[in-house]
Structure 1
Amino acid sequence: MSQLDARLAELGLEVPATSKPVAAYLPAVTSGNLVYTSGQLPMVDGALPATGKVGASVSPEDAQRFARQCVLNSLAAARTAIGSLDRITRVVKVVGFVASDPSFTGQPAVINGASELLQEIFGEAGQHARSAVGVAVLPLDAPVEIEFVFEFA
């Protein structure tokens, strides 16, 4: 068991298999010592746990939980690209998109679900630059989509 897998197990989490792309793209690519993930939806066993807009049919608390699932899915994509999650040395950037009801303004709190989990997993190396953006709609009517940039050795 890798060091990161042991940390995830300690947190009661498991990295799933890499989700199959829903269009014409790769789940992750590397350039130099960075791995860029495609936008990760909160897929669980190949399906979205919920659809709709945050602040309307999806609660902010559920959306925050879905943001955590996006982290696990991003780690699966990164593992596919670089072979081992133990190679990740830093979380560089997180860009979160939240399908939002027009009156909803809590996008940063939703994406905190991902940011806080990354810090739980990676400690100080999990601190990162970030954007949290509200959008009208996401693929498959997902409530949350997040892309990640990891540094690796």
Structure 2
Amino acid sequence: MAGTWSARLTELGIQLPPVVAPVASYVPAVRTGNLVYTAGQLPIVDGTLDVAGKVHEGAEGVVDPEQAYEAARKCGLNALAAVDALVGIDSVVRIVKVVGFVASAHGFTGQPGVINGASDLLDELFGEAGRHARSAVGVAELPMGAAVEVELIVEVV
């Protein structure tokens, strides 16, 4: 059953950002039946990529896992904004799946902890309805040099 997620956002002091304009030939989200699939969302804030680079622990010149965690949270917010623009956030029944990509420096294996940034946001907002299946994948490069990218599959009414 859908919830009053807009009220929950207000309660948590979270404001969904504007939908990020696509950087290529795609749309931010598509509905088929009772599912919404979002395009991969980058940590873009006010039209600018907020966190770029490879993620690793303790290496100079790279993104540390804590910064990447926060970037994944921003990606999650951008994905929710795409869902909201398409069907309205209060139409969400549950988060089905999160797919997260982490631009990883050689030897970095902490992708699950990074993508927790998005997962923790969804749990905080949706509670039990935010618990989801997930993949957290390390990749060599992401669009625009982003450190993290997140996409969602969401069940809606």
Q: TM-score, normalised by structure 1?
A: 0.95
Q: Do structure 1's residue 132 and structure 2's residue 133 form an aligned pair?
A: no
Question: Which whole-Å CA distance do the structure 1 matches of 2:5 and 2:146 have between them?
Answer: 28
Question: Which whole-Å CA distance do the structure 2 matches of 1:47 and 1:11 have between them?
Answer: 25
Q: What is the identity, as a one-letter code, of the residue corresponding to 1:41?
A: L
Paired residues of 2:95 and 2:155 also in contact (CA < 8 A): yes
Q: Give the one of 59, 72, 76 matched to 2:77.
A: 72
Question: Which whole-Å CA distance do the structure 1 matches of 2:106 and 2:46 have between them?
Answer: 30
Q: What is the identity, as a one-letter code, of the residue corresponding to 1:37?
A: T
Map 1:1-153 onto structure 2 (within 5 A): 3-55=4-56, 56=59, 57-82=62-87, 84-153=88-157
Which aligned runs of 4 or more in structure 1 are off by greater than 4 angstroms? none
Paired residues of 2:51 and 2:68 also in contact (CA < 8 A): no
Q: CA deviation at 1:108?
A: 0.2
| Identity over aligned pairs, percent | 60
Q: Which runs of 5+ in 1 are unaligned?
A: none
Q: What is the identity, as a one-letter code, of the residue corresponding to 2:122?
A: L
Q: RMSD between aligned alpha carbons?
A: 1.1
Q: Which runs of 5+ in 2 are unaligned?
A: none
Greater displacement, 126-135 / 48-57: 48-57
Aligned residues: 151
